């Protein structure tokens, strides 16, 4: 089971999102993105798929990445971070999801 953490900071007209995963399978390339909605109901990808660099875990099963988006996350936004892998048929399989919550 893949676990991880994600943080996002909106300032100066952009949002920087950082993600870390662990307990992932080494040698597998994982995709990730921030979407509107929740873990139960996906929505629109924030910034577009090209903004999110792949996660490539090493032998310890850990990886991290940063995306800089032109999308501004508002305090009342409902957003979820999804980590996925592509199966042999080309379909995305979500392996982890977490909903973003505002903190101060």
Average pLDDT score over the chain: 92
Residue 28 CA: distances (Å) to CA of 31, 61, 84, 85 = 10, 9, 10, 8
**Considering Cα of 39, then 45, then 46, then 49, what sign does the dihedral take?**
positive
pTM above 0.85? yes
Q: Residue 27 and residue 44: Cα distance in Å, rounded? A: 29
| Higher pLDDT, residue 10 or 33 | 33
Q: What's residue 104's pLDDT? A: 64
The string of pLDDT tens digits covering residues 63-98 is 999 999 988 888 888 999 999 998 888 899 999 999
């Amino acid at each position: 089971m893949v676990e991880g953490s994600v943080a996002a900071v909106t300032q100066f007209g952009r949002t920087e999102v950082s993600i870390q995963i662990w307990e992932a399978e080494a040698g597998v390339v994982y995709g990730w993105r921030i979407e509107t909605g929740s873990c139960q109901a996906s929505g629109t990808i924030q910034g577009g798929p090209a903004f999110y660099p792949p996660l490539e875990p090493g032998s310890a099963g850990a990886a991290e990445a940063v995306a800089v988006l032109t999308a501004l996350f508002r305090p009342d936004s409902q957003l979820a971070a999804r980590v996925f892998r592509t199966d042999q048929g080309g379909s995305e399989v979500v392996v982890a999801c977490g909903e973003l919550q505002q903190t101060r």
